[in-house]
Amino acid sequence: MTEQDSAPPQRGRAPESSPDSPELTPEERRSSVNPELLERHGLNSVQVGERQRLGLANVQPRTTSRSITEILRTHLLTLFNGIIFACALIIVLLGRWLDLLFAVAAVGNVVIGLGQEYGAKRKLDAIALLHQDHIRVLRDGMVVLIHREQIVLDDVVELRRGDQVPADGVVVSSSDLDLDESMLTGEARAVPKHRDDRLLSGTAVLAGTGRFVVTAVGPKAHAVQLAAQAKKYLKINSEIRRALERIAFWLSLALIPITAVVFNGQMQAHGGWAEAWASGEWQEGLVTAVSSVTAMIPAGLALMTTISFALAAVKLAHNHVLIQEQPAVEILARVDVVCLDKTGTLTDGTIAFHAASEMDEGGRAGPWRRAEELSSGELQPWQRILAHFGADEQANPTAAALKVPFRDVPGHHPAWRVQFSSMRRFSAVSFAETAGDLSGQWILGAPEVLREAEAVEGVDTSELLKHADAVSAQGLRTVVLAHAPNAAPPDSEETVPLRRGEQLPGPLRPVALLTFRENVRRDAASTLEYFREQDVGLRIISGDNPHTVSAVAREVGLPVQGEAVDAAQLGTDPETLRPLMAQHTVFGRVSPEQKAAMVQALQANGHVVAMTGDGINDALAVKRADLGIAMGSGAPATKAVSKLVLLDGRFARLPGVLAEGRKVIANAERLAHLFLTKTAFGVGLGLVFALMFWPFPFLPRQFSTVDFIIVGAPAFFLAMMPNPQRYRRGFLRRSALFALPPSVVVVVAVVTVSFFGRLFEDAAAQIQTASFITLALVGLWILNLVLRPLNAARIAVVTGLYLLLAAVLLLPISQQYHLFQLPEAELLAVAFVTSVLGCGAVELGHRVYTAAVDRPASL
């Protein structure tokens, strides 16, 4: 809904400059708007339009995808592209246009990469915009819903419990408005806000309602500036990207001296610099040197990894999973502990009233009565009070469930009220003496709050708490209604702390114990079973009674390791929580700051932690986790700090998320095996032939083709294939160890063929053709190793590449283009025998590699 749809123009608009008038400064613009009229009616359509024209809308930076500038820089401005461009320039200047195939392939890779990632960016940004939370703003005298980015300077924004503050501003009205500013200050406590107080974007509403006037939007907003600083100084913890950066760094250092050696070696192979220059052979030497240098560059490795990340994000988005930061795709595979909030995760978030037990004067519970029994008897004052809590527009889900069984709302207006927050764990309302038997202060909250309050004489709250624990052990949520009949008058100074929710009234008398039931998700048991099969640890962390949490955990088939821990007596120091997090799986009565501390404790124990949540009380822990996962129906503040959002709120999406992450990181490792092997034997061939002063046995067009067959073409299939392999640390080490044995075999095999070609005094074209055959056959066997375990799809890929190799060698047009010449029988036999021996050596080396890599994992 937009402001144009909401209402007809209102009378009495503030004076507004015409579109042709000079632009005003923010101070001049605000002074031109009547403050009283602004608070009552908000901006009008003309004022909104002018601010949008002046660029004063709340445009937010995109984190779901990289910017176009970042995409272009990643794909174009690389050292490897610079070397390829320089080599291509040499070939162009020499007039050897047909040897530009390597440059055409590089340009094709860049174009494909740009197209794939830009397409993914458009899809992800569109999905992210579609699922933005709506903001309530006052415009033309009516509250309308708009997207966050449609907010403009001077808008009047309405806030409710669970909302994230979308922009900086100043409060103009407050009804018990409490904010959580821990995202900015790190201090987890409710901060009351009153008229003229300043609000900062990135904070979240814990309780109450209010309105504020926007004073800073977009890049000038506090939260956006903090995010920009964080991005400027902090790097995402990505093992894949760190490995690629290290490969690029060391290879960049090595390429400069190696290139010099290769160029000198090829000139010496053609008679030395002076003779080559005099005879014109220097041109052939430059061409073979270019072929040698381009063989060393793993040009497609970063490209294919980037495409894998982008396409994984798009695939997950189509499955209703929004990746808000692309590196989160990799973290998916590394997660080994998932922390779950019970409500909205194991349960579907819906709460239904179960039963009520009225207390006698001594605080002893009476018989349990269901909703139908309560409606049939005489109406009691406490039942009308419960109707008031249930009818409150700002009621939390538990209190809102009272609306169905308790419908007789009192006609008296309360003197004051305290909205529920997870920090104080209760809500309160006070009625004046004129309300008769409803007068006094009424508290609705967790039974544990009675420990902190003074009880009336003769009431033993310890027995009540034991009774509540016994009920909670059956999987029911328990809430107590208590009354302070002799409370201070509503307008006295004594009530100020109570109205702010800073302390409980007293003495309190328990009036009724209430139970609620949550509906367990049908798919929760199978999802948890999947995680256990994948060796992913599970921790249930909830603000509910530990007995209730434990009962729900058992209902979904989760073994409870040790006893359920009551966190009410625990602190917030991650160090003291470390042993508990290692020994127990279920935690109850956990405060928001304790949830975050528990995540830190698991991280300190060496785990990669995912945290799921939907409520505002989960936001801090979701932010602290390596992978924060929010439910699509959750609080806007929680979704804003998460890296991943389950748009439809289905917990069963998580196994698919984990599988996609594992596929990306496992396929990235396979790609690294392939490309690093090619780089290693490229460097080896370049150095050996340069130091032996032998001509490099490939023309650029020939090496570009064999590179496409054994690396380029299969890389596209590798990046997309399913791969259930579990994450293991040491990505770069394993890739380097894999690449070393086969690269040595390739160098020895090609040098052997060249040696015999020179020995038999065959023509250079025949030696090049025999070398091409040898490299292609051994390279395809290396690909065979990378693809294992083989299945029908992978066998089809390998078979297709063998057929492509046959076509390249046998088709006349290909022979003419590649300047192939059939080797003599002796050299052809050497090529095939060397290839077979080379494949056998590669197989043997791979078995040694497998044994060496797997041994530490099995200890």
Q: Residue 753: which region, alpha, beta or left (left: phi > 0; alpha: psi -120 to 50)?
A: alpha
Classify 542 as helix, strand or coil: coil
Contact 821, 761 (CB under 8 A): no
Let me know if 341 is a catalytic residue. yes
Question: CA dist 537 to 330, 603, 624, Å?
Answer: 18, 13, 18
Residue 619: CB atoms within 10 A of its CB come to: 31
Edge-to-edge strand ranges of the sheet holding 509-520: 365-369, 347-359, 509-520, 477-484, 440-445, 426-431, 416-418
Contact 662, 727 (CB under 8 A): yes
Give Cβ neighbours of residue 751 (< 8 Å, ≥ 6 apart): 685, 688, 689
Residue labelled with tokens 């708490």 = 465
Residue type, 774: T
Contact 500, 526 (CB under 8 A): no
Selected catalytic residue, list 176, 341, 392, 626: 341
Contact 360, 366 (CB under 8 A): yes
Determine the Cα–Cα distance for residues 752 and 685; give it in Å rounded to an integer: 12
**For residue 605, what are its two tokens?**
């124990």
Determine the Cα–Cα distance for residues 636 and 171; give it in Å rounded to an integer: 20
Determine the Cα–Cα distance for residues 80 and 296; give it in Å rounded to an integer: 10
DSSP category for residue 438: G
Q: How far is CA 231 from the centre of its chain?
A: 15
For residue 180, the cross-strand partners are 190, 204
Determine the Cα–Cα distance for residues 727 and 853; give it in Å rounded to an integer: 14
Q: Closest by alpha carbon to 450, among 496, 507, 517, 402?
A: 507
Contact 539, 546 (CB under 8 A): no
Q: Closest by alpha carbon to 664, among 242, 331, 337?
A: 331
**DSSP per position, 177-207:** EEEE-HHHHS--SEEE--TT-EE-TT-EEEE
Catalytic residue positions? Answer: 341
